[in-house]
Chains A and B, each alone.
Chain A
Amino acid sequence: MADDLTSFADRYFEALAAGDHSALPLAPGVVFTENGQRLPLGKGLWATVTGAAASRAVTVADEEKRQVATWGMVTEGRGGAGTILGVRLRVPDGRVTEIETFAIRPGDMVSVFRDSGFLDAERLAHPSPGLLDPLDQADRPTREELVAAANGYVDGVSGGDASLIPVADDCPRFENGIQTVLRTEGFPPGSEPNPVTMMGVAQQVREGATRHIASARDRGMYLADTSRGLIMIRFFFDHRGSTRGWEGRSPFAGPNSMPAWEIFKVRGGLIRQIEAIIAWWPYGYRWGWEDDR
Chain B
Amino acid sequence: MITATEAWLRGLLDDYYAALAAGDPGRLPLAADVRFTENGQPIAIGTGLWATANDPLGGRPGSAGRGSTSGLVLAVTGQASGPEGTTGHVAGWGMVAEGGTGDPPGPAGRAGADALLGVRLKTTGQTISEIETLVVRRPPFGRDSYPDSLREPSEPMLEVIDPAERGTPEDLIKAANGYFDGVARDDAGLIPAADDCVRIENGLQTVLNADGAGFPPDLADSEGLRLGVRAQIDTMAFRYIEDIRDRRFPVIDTERGLVLAMCFFDHPGQLRGADFDSPIRTPNSMMIWELFKVRSGLIRRIEAIGAAFPYGMRWTW
Contacts and interface: CB of A to CB of B under 8 A. Distances in A.
Interface string A17-54: 00100000000000000111111000111011110000
Contact of A283 (B41, B270, B280, B281): B41
A200 interface: no
Main secondary structure of the interface of A (DSSP, over half): loop
A77 interface: yes
Contacts of B314: 37
Contacts of B48: 255, 283-284
A139 B113 CA distance: 50
A83 interface: yes
Interface string A54-78: 0000000000000000000000111
Interface stretch (B10-18, B152-160, B305-313): B305-313
A81 interface: yes
Contacts of B313: 37
A14 B60 CA distance: 54
B284 A282 contact: no
B297 interface: no
Interface in A268-285: 281-285
A283 B308 contact: no
A35 B308 contact: no
Interface stretch (B49-57, B193-201, B217-225): B49-57
Contact of B52 (A243, A249, A281): A243
Contact of A110 (B42, B53, B99, B309): B309
A95 B96 CA distance: 51
Contacts of B51: 240-241, 243-244, 255
Categorize the interface residue count of chain A. Answer: 35 or more
B98 interface: yes
A149 to B, nearest CB: 30
Chain B CB within 10 A, most for which of A34, A242, A249: A242
A105 interface: yes
Given A44-B312, A110-B284, A244 B268 contact: no
Contact of B311 (A37, A244, A255): A37
A119 to B, nearest CB: 13
B184 to A, nearest CB: 16
A143 B311 CA distance: 35
B137 interface: yes
Interface string A231-275: 000000000111111000110111100000000000000000000
A76 B138 CA distance: 24
B113 A34 contact: no
B47 A253 contact: no
A43 B269 CA distance: 10
Contacts of B52: 240-244, 253-255
B40 interface: yes
A284 B310 contact: no
A244 B269 contact: no
Given A244-B51, A284-B41, A254 B284 contact: no
A169 interface: no
Chain B CB within 10 A, most for which of A43, A112, A241, A245: A241
Contacts of A43: 268, 283, 311-312
Nearest to B280: A109
Contact of A77 (B99, B113, B282): B282
A109 to B, nearest CB: 4
A220 to B, nearest CB: 18
Nearest to A50: B272
Contacts of B303: none
A148 B237 CA distance: 55
Interface string B61-103: 0000000000000000000000000000000000000111000
Given A108-B281, A255-B49, A48 B112 contact: no
Q: Which 5 pairs, one residue from A and one from B, show the smallest C-beta to C-beta distance?
A: A253-B99, A37-B312, A242-B99, A284-B41, A77-B270
15 contacts: A37-B314, A38-B312, A39-B312, A48-B281, A48-B282, A76-B282, A78-B281, A105-B282, A240-B47, A240-B51, A241-B52, A254-B99, A255-B51, A283-B39, A285-B41
Given A37-B314, A244-B52, A254-B115, 18 more contacts: A34-B312, A35-B311, A37-B312, A43-B268, A44-B268, A77-B282, A103-B282, A109-B280, A110-B284, A110-B310, A241-B98, A254-B49, A255-B49, A283-B38, A283-B39, A284-B38, A284-B41, A286-B41
Interface of A: 19, 34-39, 43-45, 47-50, 76-79, 81, 83, 103, 105, 108-110, 112, 114, 240-245, 249-250, 252-255, 281-286
